[in-house]
Amino acid sequence: MRLINLKTLVVKEFIESDCPPYVILSHTWGADEVSLQMLQTGGVEALAGYEKIKSFCRQGAANGFEWGWVDTCCIDKTSSAELSEAINSMYRWYQEADVCYAYLADVSSNQQPDLQKEEFAKSRWFTRGWTLQELLAPSAVVFYLNDWTEYGTKTTLQHIISKITGIPVRALLQETKKFCIAEKMS
């Protein structure tokens, strides 16, 4: 598993059993995402994807973390074997992260509270298949708006997230032992 150093933005490979504590990014892909090779080669500073990585790293470091994981630059997507392994490991990586930052690029902090709540509910992040496991696997999820203003957590926003997604609150809070078999299978 590769992690990015939040201060230097250098990617380093770790054996999963010796992985340090890390923060993980959940986001929707946009234009100009930065791959592992692009990050290692350099010359990516003007790309929007680089700014997202840099802001994620800044936020994680401010919260006391040294390492982070971002799918765009911590997986070698030129290797089909590595990509396949990463896809199969993704849920576990999100589950084992200390915290997940869900970045909502399409929700502005410059809105009135009612409009912001509406933008949050309509965020592209809630429409993507990949983000479902990124919402459910981690015990802690913090939502950030497009300027990296903290909006709330999976716990503080549990009722609105449940309404948006149709996922029961107890599933959001990882109380899955309380589900009957039929609920788990549906």
The predicted-structure confidence for 34-69, as pLDDT tens digits, reads as follows 999 999 999 999 999 999 999 999 999 999 999 999
Q: Left if phi > 0, otherwise alpha if psi is -120 to 50, otherwise beta: which for 148?
A: left
Averaged confidence pLDDT in the chain: 93
Span 91-108, average pLDDT: 97
Contact between 14 and 22 (Cβ < 8 Å): no
Counting residues of the chain whose pLDDT is more than 70, the rounded percentage is 94
Better-predicted residue by pLDDT, 178 or 141:
141
Contact between 111 and 119 (Cβ < 8 Å): yes
Alpha helices in 11-167 (DSSP H): 36-41, 48-62, 71-74, 80-96, 113-121, 130-136, 158-165
| Domain count within the chain | 1
* pTM of the predicted structure, to 2 decimals: 0.93
Query: Helix or strand or coil: residue 142?
Result: strand
- Domain span at 136: 2-185
**Which pLDDT score, from 0 to 100, does residue 78 have?**
94
Better-predicted residue by pLDDT, 176 or 16:
16
pLDDT band at 174 (very low <50, low <70, confident <90, very high): confident
Span 163-182, average pLDDT: 81
Query: Helix or strand or coil: residue 102?
Result: strand
